[in-house]
C-alpha cells in the first residue's frame, strides 16, 4: 500500500530535497515510523519527546486535518495523499 506524502520546504533537507515521497502505512503512526526509517531525524521534527504531534505542525489526509479525525490512529488507504503543513511566519522583513 503506497501513500504519497507531501513534505514542506523546511523538512526537505531530511528527504534529499524531495517535495514528495512514498510511504507504506496503515495509519498515521505507522506512516511517521516509515518516514523515520527512510529519512532518519524526521520524527523528532514532527513529534515532541512524548511522541505527540507538535502543535505548530499539522498532518492532513487528503484535505482533512488528522486532529479532527482519529489523530495518529487515523487510518490510511491506498492512494491517500498525506500533507505535512507547518506554521510559517515570514512576511514583512
Among the listed residues 10, 40, 51, 75, the single contact to another protein using CB under 8 A: 10
Q: Which one of residues 22, 33, 64, 70 is an interface residue with another protein (CB under 8 A)?
A: 64
Tell me the DSSP string of 26-50. Answer: SBHHHHHHHHHHHSTTHHHHHB-TT
Using CB under 8 A as the binding criterion, the count of chain residues that bind another protein stands at 24
Q: Which is nearer to another protein, 37 or 54 (CB)?
A: 54
> For residues 45 and 42, what is the distance between their CA atoms, to the nearest angstrom?
5
- As a whole number of angstroms, the distance between CA 84 and CA 93 comes to 25
Applying CB under 8 A, which part among 23-31, 33-41, 72-80, 81-89 lies near another protein? 81-89
Amino acid at each position: 500500500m503506497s501513500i504519497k506524502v507531501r513534505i514542506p520546504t523546511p523538512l526537505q533537507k531530511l528527504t534529499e530535497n524531495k517535495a514528495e515521497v512514498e510511504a507504506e502505512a496503515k495509519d498515521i503512526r505507522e506512516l511517521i515510523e516509515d518516514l523515520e526509517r527512510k529519512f532518519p531525524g524526521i520524527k523528532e521534527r514532527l513529534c515532541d519527546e512524548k511522541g505527540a504531534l507538535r502543535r505548530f505542525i499539522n498532518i492532513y489526509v487528503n484535505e482533512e486535518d488528522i486532529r479532527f479525525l482519529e489523530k495518529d490512529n487515523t487510518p490510511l488507504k491506498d492512494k491517500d495523499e498525506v500533507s505535512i503543513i507547518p506554521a510559517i511566519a515570514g512576511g514583512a522583513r
